[in-house]
Amino acid sequence: MKKLTYLVLSLFSTYAFAQETTKDRLYSIISTLASDEMKGREIGTLENDNAAKYIAKLFEENKLDYCTGNSYLVPFNYKGKTVYNVCGIKKGKSEKTLGFSGHFDHIGTKAGGEDTVFNGADDNASGISTLVGISDYFKNKNPEFSLVFMAFNGEEKGLLGSQAIADDPKLDNVFGNLTALFNFEMLATPSEFGKNAVYITGDEYSDMKDLFNKQTVNDLKIHPDPYASEQLFYRSDNVSFVKKKIIAHSISTVDMSAVQHYHQLNDDVNVVDFTNLSEIVTNFAKTIEKLTPKNFDPKYTEEVNFN
């Protein structure tokens, strides 16, 4: 992927793009995170730290409150080094909270060859652009729910960041009010269900899908998990919150039966369908705006495994 010379400017971008859930906005976010300069955002690297700081800047533009302390950066330890998750809150009319998350780390680089960077545009710059796009939408709004936005680190090394933040006692007050978490994982390409459609992992484990679909706008639909046999519900960052008995599912569009860019060098900005992604982000945000603690209070079924 060609290097993006505006990366440094993007890291310190100002208010200009805030509140715009557009293709240009999504392109700016994904192409920055998935640039060659980010060197695959592997946890423990300078580039991974830069990615965290970039996301924190986006949260600052949208005037989110800190989740804890005096920074959006929430530190944890990785092999003796301080690394970061990123967390921000939009206060709503209720203390009841909806969560939106995705991991920003990827798998780094390889030695030799013309292309050496695993850019991770779909995995998972697309998920980060989705949660930031929802944050953009609510910047000047007063939602019924409070909203917490979390960018996790270390997913590729074993869900490390989501486990660290879920277990952080400084965030107990936030997670104690968390009604449900939407974890965004790979939304760059249309799903096998077509445009403006996503699927939810582990849909049989709660009624979240059904409650959400009752409120969706512009024909957005969450479909059941077509890859249930792969147990994706227990393999992504949502499971760190499932263990706390918080409703938490991953939302995705990736066609696991046909995907050819997963953990490959060609997972760059060229794989992203920005028209479809911007439609999903906008319609998701508009649906969230309709949700209230009265019409959206999902519960787990008896089938879920909390261990």
44-81 pLDDT tens trace: 999 999 999 999 999 999 999 999 999 999 999 999 99
What's the pLDDT at 18?
A: 39
Please tell me the pTM assigned to this model.
0.94
- pLDDT computed for residue 9 by the predictor: 42
The angle at the Cα of 55, spanning 51 to 57, to the nearest 5 degrees, equals: 115
- To the nearest whole number, what is the mean pLDDT of the chain? 94
- What tens digit of pLDDT does each residue of 213-235 get? 999 999 999 999 999 999 999 99
Span 155-191, pLDDT tens digits: 999 999 999 999 999 999 999 999 999 999 999 999 9
